[in-house]
Amino acid sequence: EAQVTQNPRYLITVTGKKLTVTCSQNMNHEYMSWYRQDPGLGLRQIYYSMNVEVTDKGDVPEGYKVSRKEKRNFPLILESPSPNQTSLYFCASSFFPGSSYEQYFGPGTRLTVT
């Protein structure tokens, strides 16, 4: 089954404790992206990757890091989480370039930082 998986799905942590949210896709997509979803703000892009070893900042990159060592994986790293990073996080992927820009989203990771 074609899908984007994220782990963990739920995470409660404390300020300053480094964490990683994993994202993996099995569709051979070149493009991958991280979004955060906050009430009243919709979804905002954090980082994206056009291909292996190619990453760049989105609209709200402060406090996050990413890496793309393999095509299928795109982990999101919070080296020193803060309460304002409490949010719902989505990983997405798509082909690049292509006739369709459809991005496939993972199920989400709900993060709470206390």
Site for other proteins, rule CB under 8 A: 4, 31, 33, 35, 40-45, 48, 50, 56, 58-59, 90, 92, 94, 96-97, 101-108
Output 51 or 80, the one with its CB closest to other proteins: 51
The two structure tokens encoding residue 16? 């300053």
| Least Å from the CB of residue 105 to other proteins | 3
Output 8 or 107, the one with its CB closest to other proteins: 107
- Would you say 76 and 4 are in contact if contact means Cβ atoms under 8 Å apart? no
Output 81 or 106, the one with its CB closest to other proteins: 106
Q: Is 102 left (phi over 0), alpha (psi -120 to 50) or beta?
A: beta
